[in-house]
Amino acid sequence: MGDADGDGLLDGWERNGYNADGYGDIEVDLPAMGAEADHKDIFVELDWERGHEPTRAGIQAMKKAFAAAPPDAGSTASSRRADNGGFGVNAPPNPDGVPGINLHVDTGDLVDPMGREGGTVGTCSDGLDNGGDGLKDGNDPTCNRHGPPPGVPVDYLDASVENPQPTNCTDGMDNDRDGITDEADPDCLVGDDLGGGGDLLTRGACGLDAAFYATKASKFNGNRRKLFHYGQLLELPGAATCPDQVGGQGELGGNDFAVFSPDAGTIMHELGHNLNLREAGHEDGPLCKPNYVSVLNYDHQTGIPRVGGGVILDYSPPRTTDGDRGHAPLPDLRENALTEPTVLDATDSVNRFQFTNRKGMKVPNDLNTSPDWDGDGDTTGPVLPTNINDAGRRGPRECANSSTNEPMGGSDDWTSVSLPFRQFGESADAAINRETADVPTYSELLAMHEEANTTDVGVTVTDNPDPVAAGRDIVYTAVVTNHGFRPAAAVTLVDTLPSQVSYVSDDAACHASGATVTCGVGDLLPGASRTVTITAHVPADLVYNAGGPVALTNRAVVDNLMGPDPVADNDTAATDTRVVAVADLAVTSFAPTTPPTQVLIGQTLDVRLHGTVANNGPSSPMDAALATAATADPGSTVVPSSSTRTISALATGTPQSFDGVFTIGCSQPGFHTYRFTASITPARPDDTDPVEANNHRPAEFTLDCVVPVAINIKPGANPNSVNIPADTVPVGVLTTRAGEYALPLDFNATTIQPLTVRFGPRTAVYGGTGGSTEAHNRGHIENVVERTTTPVERVRDGDLDMMLHFASATSGLQRPDTEACAKGSFTDGATGRTFRFFGCDAIRVVQS
């Protein structure tokens, strides 16, 4: 009966089942258990003590490792000889042409407490943020979980689950609609339910001893002895019972193993011994060789560290990406002939090895980069003899040595595995080839993990700008640096923004929740730094509401989830930022509402100017001080010359208006210009305005200062009756001295330009071009009879006045009118300039 795939299970057994006693009944139904005659299979049964149950993630990680076994797995197994003289058995490639080995792990109906129907495995290594918390893979604490014991970090496996949800394996529902419910669903099971596997009620085994085999005899179905590997997961009794404290023990070429560490790496380590692998690969020593990257190496017993965090379970050479592996055997090393730089495997950018540097410290190192053998901070120059496979400061103790001249050869595990084990011998009550080296205990593994992942990560944080204007963004720049000499595989930055600001963005795919921004910085090699920028927005009203500048404090904390940090002082950094109010205040309009065009000398006018002010931000609102200033040409007046008011809470998008009333007058004839300016500035002393150009807005108008004069309508008559439309009305414009008739200026009526004069109602002639013009197209200079009031008399004062005549029909006067006025121009004798005059007299209108 042949074995086409070379897995030690005869083809007939894998097709038809195994008949242990030869009487025709099938005792072990291998095909029902998933065996295939054309594809390699390994069957393992596990029993456990309470509290030492295997995990689904661990078993799945082992299955992934074997499923990815290279096509030539087992092809050179016969080159390795067991201690009892038996040799491994070569295996050909799988006849079905598909690489890999199907690993079947019988854990019975054991349900994983975190199992989920329809749940996926390996989400800690898929590059996705499965929990939606901004953290993925190694930077998610649910992957880099802690314990047992509490607080102790545990590397995640490539089958571990990120942000696992509560189990649904006990709800009585078919959650993934595959027709299988709860513990019957393989998604809920730790391993495979092949009819074996379960709790062990007896205790006390120290390894592959009599207690182990006594328990095996009661738990393990003897019909499986030629088919299955058998392992027990146990609690190691104390030194009084077990003087030799070990983490596990396996047969070197065989089918039995015991595991005392609660990790799948030690299970696969001991199973590797059953497959005829050694702790040093193809040889018994030296141990802890840097150029042997396998779970058989004590330095990698819990898994081969990956760049970016986590571990994989694998033999040498470890897989890199799907379908690819690194090289094995790796180059030989000799401790007294080390060189820098030396790269062990330039093709492997995802896995790490470990070595002990000249300072006696265990250091993980990327396989595709040169190690710093002597720990001097660089990877160039000569290297003194260095004990690169020593135990380091925290173990493993089995690797402790003082040699500095050992040669170390690499090894290829996968081509050397021997899947058949019957040729090594088998005993029902004792191990044939018991492992004798002291496998690290769980406490040793934890200490080793701590040393390998201890490094000093630090953070600095700066702000820009400082000070920052309320209403603007502020950028925080955190620089995370690995100051240590070991990689920091899972660095996380937690930045706590000031409570007053709001998160805007970042450049590192961070996750913001309120004021907390969590960023997965990832893997940092020794001396490497990574910069993370976080942008936050400062509320526009922060300073206004606070009554003055505000101090913000941003705090950044960095943590390496993979291990301890010996220097706590630089794990936290903070920066303070002063927030000030800065706003572009502007006077957007300022003009007289109805600018006057003229005023009588000696009289005043109130002029209203209306304006608007605006806040163009960024800070809003802001109290502002609005100042107005007014000036006028010589010979004219304006009051007030200045004023100040407060514009409260001027906000962006909500302009405010203001008005100013000014009283103007003049003392000299002619056109005069009145000039005004509205200016706005921040009212609070710490507030600023960066744009001065629009803080001021001018306004002006020019008006004519008109000389008031005395006129006599129908000189000598009383009352001054005007017959409309028949009358041609004589009007005398009098020459007067300042003070005469209470007039402010001297006036020489003989300089009047008669053809400019208009006569009619006040509104028609003062503000416009109404009224009638001189009827004779000329004026008459004469000494006009004047009426005085004190005493009441009619006199001729000897002055030469101007007599003019106007048609009443076109004057615009009407019966209700009791006043008529004349307005026109005159020539100033001193300057030759032309000015305007205006005067009125009482009338009584009659109509014919």
Same domain? 717 vs 841:
yes
Same domain? 750 vs 694:
no
Q: Is residue 102, in this structure, part of any structural domain at all? A: no
Same domain? 779 vs 669:
no
Q: Are 296 and 281 in contact (CB under 8 A)?
A: yes
The average confidence (pLDDT) of the chain is 94
Distance in angstroms (rounded) separating the CA atoms of residues 303 and 449: 10
More confident position, 425 or 793: 425
pLDDT class of 182 with cuts at 50, 70, 90: confident
The residue from 528, 546, 580 where one domain ends is 580
Q: Over the stretch 447-460, which tens digit does the pLDDT of each residue have?
A: 999 999 999 999 99
H/E stretch holding 835 reads: strand 834-842
Average pLDDT over residues 463-487: 98
Q: Is residue 536, in this structure, part of any structural domain at all? A: yes
Same domain? 605 vs 571:
no
Average pLDDT over residues 111-116: 88
Average pLDDT over residues 555-579: 96
Distance in angstroms (rounded) separating the CA atoms of residues 335 and 328: 20
pLDDT at residue 132, as a whole number: 80
Same domain? 719 vs 833:
yes
- Position 106 pLDDT exceeds 80: yes
pLDDT at residue 140, as a whole number: 79
Residue type, 698: P
Average pLDDT over residues 833-837: 98
pLDDT at residue 382, as a whole number: 93
What backbone torsions phi and psi does residue 448 show, to the nearest 5 degrees?
Answer: -65, -40
Q: Which domain holds residue 590?
A: 583-704
pLDDT class of 167 with cuts at 50, 70, 90: confident
pLDDT class of 69 with cuts at 50, 70, 90: very high
Q: Are 580 and 543 in contact (CB under 8 A)?
A: yes
- Position 468 pLDDT exceeds 70: yes
CA–CA distances in Å: residue 759 to residues 72, 768, 804, 838: 125, 11, 10, 10
Indicate which CATH number applies to the domain containing 468: 2.60.40.1530
Q: Is residue 515, in this structure, part of any structural domain at all? A: yes
Average pLDDT over residues 292-307: 96
Residue type, 134: G
Q: Is the dihedral of CA 748, 754, 758, 759 positive or negative?
A: positive
- Position 807 pLDDT exceeds 60: yes
Q: Is residue 282, in this structure, part of any structural domain at all? A: no
Number of domains in the chain: 3
Distance in angstroms (rounded) separating the CA atoms of residues 318 and 421: 24
Q: Over the stretch 594-635, which tens digit does the pLDDT of each residue have?
A: 999 999 999 999 999 999 999 999 999 999 999 999 999 999
Q: Are 833 and 595 in contact (CB under 8 A)?
A: no
Same domain? 633 vs 549:
no
pLDDT at residue 341, as a whole number: 96
The residue from 580, 596, 615 where one domain ends is 580
Q: Is residue 574, in this structure, part of any structural domain at all? A: yes
Indicate which CATH number applies to the domain containing 748: 2.60.40
Same domain? 519 vs 643:
no
Task: Write out 479-493 in H/E/C secondary structure.
Answer: EEEECCCCCEEEEEE
pLDDT class of 426 with cuts at 50, 70, 90: confident
CA–CA distances in Å: residue 273 to residues 88, 205, 277, 436: 12, 19, 5, 11
361 half-sphere exposure, CB direction, 13 A CA radius: 19
- Position 815 pLDDT exceeds 80: yes
Residue type, 619: S
Q: Over the stretch 357-410, which tens digit does the pLDDT of each residue have?
A: 999 999 999 999 999 999 999 999 899 999 999 999 999 999 999 999 999 999
pLDDT at residue 529, as a whole number: 98
Same domain? 486 vs 560:
yes
Q: Is residue 420, in this structure, part of any structural domain at all? A: no
Q: Are 235 and 53 in contact (CB under 8 A)?
A: no
Nearest to 305 by CA among 439, 153, 440, 408: 153
Nearest to 823 by CA among 665, 594, 598, 596: 598
Tokens 């507030």 label which residue? 687
Q: Is residue 594, in this structure, part of any structural domain at all? A: yes
Q: Are 257 and 229 in contact (CB under 8 A)?
A: yes
Q: Using CB atoms within 10 A of its CB, is residue 27 exposed (0-12), middle (13-18) or buried (19+)?
A: middle
Q: Are 437 and 398 in contact (CB under 8 A)?
A: yes
pLDDT at residue 199, as a whole number: 95
H/E stretch holding 713 reads: strand 711-713
- Position 785 pLDDT exceeds 70: yes
Distance in angstroms (rounded) separating the CA atoms of residues 338 and 352: 19
Same domain? 664 vs 732:
no
Bridge partner residues of 496 (DSSP): 516, 555
Average pLDDT over residues 90-96: 98
- Position 336 pLDDT exceeds 90: yes
Q: Over the stretch 626-677, which tens digit does the pLDDT of each residue have?
A: 999 999 999 999 999 999 999 999 999 999 999 999 999 999 999 999 999 9
Indicate which CATH number applies to the domain containing 602: 2.60.40.10
Same domain? 612 vs 636:
yes
Bridge partner residues of 280 (DSSP): 283
Distance in angstroms (rounded) separating the CA atoms of residues 131 and 119: 14
Same domain? 547 vs 632:
no
Same domain? 566 vs 606:
no
Other CB atoms closer than 10 Å to residue 520's CB: what's the count?
25
pLDDT at residue 12, as a whole number: 95
Q: Is residue 633, in this structure, part of any structural domain at all? A: yes
pLDDT at residue 308, as a whole number: 86
Average pLDDT over residues 791-798: 74
Tokens for 814?
């009407």
Average pLDDT over residues 41-65: 96
Q: Are 459 and 108 in contact (CB under 8 A)?
A: no
What backbone torsions phi and psi does residue 16 show, to the nearest 5 degrees?
Answer: -120, -15
Contacts of 315 (CB under 8 A, 6+ apart): 65, 272, 277, 294, 295, 296, 413, 414, 417
pLDDT class of 792 with cuts at 50, 70, 90: low
pLDDT at residue 149, as a whole number: 53
pLDDT at residue 667, as a whole number: 98
Contacts of 548 (CB under 8 A, 6+ apart): 684, 686
The residue from 580, 599, 621 where one domain ends is 580
pLDDT at residue 561, as a whole number: 87
Q: Over the stretch 148-159, which tens digit does the pLDDT of each residue have?
A: 555 555 667 887
Bridge partner residues of 448 (DSSP): none
Nearest to 277 by CA among 58, 73, 72, 103: 73
Distance in angstroms (rounded) separating the CA atoms of residues 210 and 356: 38
Contacts of 831 (CB under 8 A, 6+ apart): none
H/E stretch holding 763 reads: helix 762-766
